[in-house]
Amino acid sequence: MAMERAAEEPISRREAGKADRRRRIIHAARDLIRETGNAGLSMRALAARAGVSLATPYNLFGSKRAIVLAVLDDVREFQDRFAHLRSSDPLERLFTAVDMAIEFYVSDPLFYRTLWAAVFDTSDDVRREIYNWKRNDFWLGLIRECAAAGAIAPSVNVELLFHMLDHIFRSAMLDWVVGEVPPDLLAPTIHYGYALMLKGAATAEWRGPLEARIADAQTRVEAGALRSITTP
> In order of start, what are the domains of the chain with their CATH numbers?
2-74 (1.10.10), 77-230 (no CATH)
- CB atoms closer than 10 angstroms to residue 88: 9
Distance in angstroms (rounded) separating the CA atoms of residues 210 and 202: 9
Distance in angstroms (rounded) separating the CA atoms of residues 207 and 198: 8
- CB atoms closer than 10 angstroms to residue 71: 24
Distance in angstroms (rounded) separating the CA atoms of residues 101 and 95: 10
Name residue 215's amino acid.
A
pTM score: 0.81
What is the DSSP code string of 147-159?
A: HHTT-B-TTS-HH
Give yes or no for a contact between 158 and 150, defined as CB atoms under 8 angstroms apart: no
Distance in angstroms (rounded) separating the CA atoms of residues 207 and 223: 24
pLDDT by residue for the chain (232 residues), tens digit each? Answer: 444 454 445 557 888 888 899 999 999 999 999 998 888 788 999 999 999 999 999 999 888 878 887 887 766 667 777 777 777 899 999 999 999 999 989 998 988 898 888 878 777 666 666 667 778 898 999 999 999 999 999 999 999 999 999 999 999 999 999 999 999 999 999 999 999 999 999 999 999 999 999 999 999 999 887 665 555 5
Q: Where are the alpha helices (DSSP H) in 51-177?
A: 55-61, 64-74, 77-83, 90-107, 109-119, 126-130, 133-148, 158-177
Distance in angstroms (rounded) separating the CA atoms of residues 49 and 74: 18
Phi, psi for 212 (deg, rounded to 5): -65, -40
Distance in angstroms (rounded) separating the CA atoms of residues 161 and 152: 10
pLDDT at 3: 47
pLDDT at 165: 97
Give yes or no for a contact between 188 and 220, defined as CB atoms under 8 angstroms apart: yes
Distance in angstroms (rounded) separating the CA atoms of residues 4 and 11: 11
Residue count of the chain: 232
Q: End-to-end CA distance of the chain, in Å?
A: 75
Give yes or no for a contact between 46 and 28, defined as CB atoms under 8 angstroms apart: yes
